[in-house]
Amino acid sequence: AKADGSRQIRFFDHSMARDIAHRREIETELRRALRENELAVYFQPIVELETGRIRCFEALVRWFHPERGEISPDEFIPIAEESGAIVTLGNWLTAQAASVATSWPEEVRVAVNLSPLQLKVPGAALGIISAFREAGLPPERLELEVTEGLFLEDSPNIAMFIEELSGMGVRFALDDFGTGYSSLGYINQWPFSKIKVDRSFVSGSQAGRKSDAIIRAVSQMGKSLGMEIVAEGLETIDQVRAVREAGCTHGQGYHFSRAVPAYQAALLLAEERET
Ligand code: C2E
Ligand code: CA
Ligand code: CA
Ligand code: CA
């Protein structure tokens, strides 16, 4: 039994060491990737359910590693946050996304995800502002997606950031709604123009009537406050019908399109204008 125990411990140590080594490797690789243009920005449409038209594209980062293949943002964003590389990555991504968006019709916005850690650093607003200014994108066409996690960070920078940018006309969306504390207080307190209901609420029949009731309540409240309600992760036409019926104004998900490179986003818009 003793031998077993020590073997177990040793095994555990090895895997932890491997994990740390792996993270450190990704961190170094990420800095290299930023320099060597291995990162790309993809765009996923957000569709107005009533008209079926694309109103916005969410910018999502993609990393194509020469040896490892594609690395998921869920794997490297947390590492980028810990190492501080998220600031460089976020400003780069905003600049790229804004510059692509200038080629779209005026009424189509671009949404960029912001990590709470990105906003804590002094001068965070400046980085974002210079990113869309340099691209020549009017601030009204930029949307910043933030999660509730942002408000757990008790940082004066964050309030300043939101006030400064929303004062310029930049819009804010509350992302992944329903996964965190889902405090309605945040919605009241901050100038959100959009709530994105998390995929876990729309993933279909097994989510059930309870999810449905929550979507209904959020939609109703959002509408009365003049907000858009986006349902995330719509994969089937039945899900689209269900969330529309529940009061969501917009939808996003594989049913409409996956995140695609800029040239394909332009094709989606061109197709739309033909019909
Ligand atoms: P998110 O902001 O909630 O983004 C939506 C995620 O859901 C994306 O995954 C998207 O590809 C995926 N998705 C969209 N429609 C569907 C669907 O119908 N079914 C399913 N199963 N999934 C769908 P992705 O691109 O892997 O990104 C994962 C997360 O990584 C994002 O979640 C976001 O939190 C983070 N992330 C991605 N890009 C960036 C970025 O540039 N900056 C920051 N800070 N975070 C990012
Ligand atoms: Ca998002
Ligand atoms: Ca989301
Ligand atoms: Ca998410």
Integer Rg of the chain from CA: 20
Mutational pocket test of ligand 1: of 113, 196, 198, 237, the residue with most ligand atoms within 8 Å of the beta carbon: 113
Q: Please tell me the distance between residue 69's alpha carbon and the centre of ligand 2 in angstroms.
A: 23
Q: Please tell me the distance between residue 15's alpha carbon and the centre of ligand 2 in angstroms.
A: 32
Q: Of all atoms in ligand 1, which is nearest to the CA of residue 259?
A: 11
pLDDT at 26: 84
Q: Dump pLDDT digits (tens) for 58-68.
A: 999 999 998 88
Q: Dump pLDDT digits (tens) for 118-156.
A: 888 888 899 999 999 999 999 999 999 999 888 777 778
pLDDT at 2: 44
- Within 6 A (CB) of ligand 1 lie 44, 60-61, 72-74, 77, 93, 113, 115, 175-176, 233-235, 252-254, 259
3-state secondary structure of 40: strand
Q: Tell which residue, 198, 254, 267, 245, has the closest CA to residue 50.
A: 245
Residue 153 CA to residue 160 CA, distance in Å, equals: 13
pLDDT at 155: 78
pLDDT at 207: 56
Helices (H) then strands (E): counts for the chain = 10, 9
Residues of the chain with pLDDT under 70: 1-18, 182, 203-208, 275
State the pairing for strand pair 192-197/228-231.
Answer: parallel
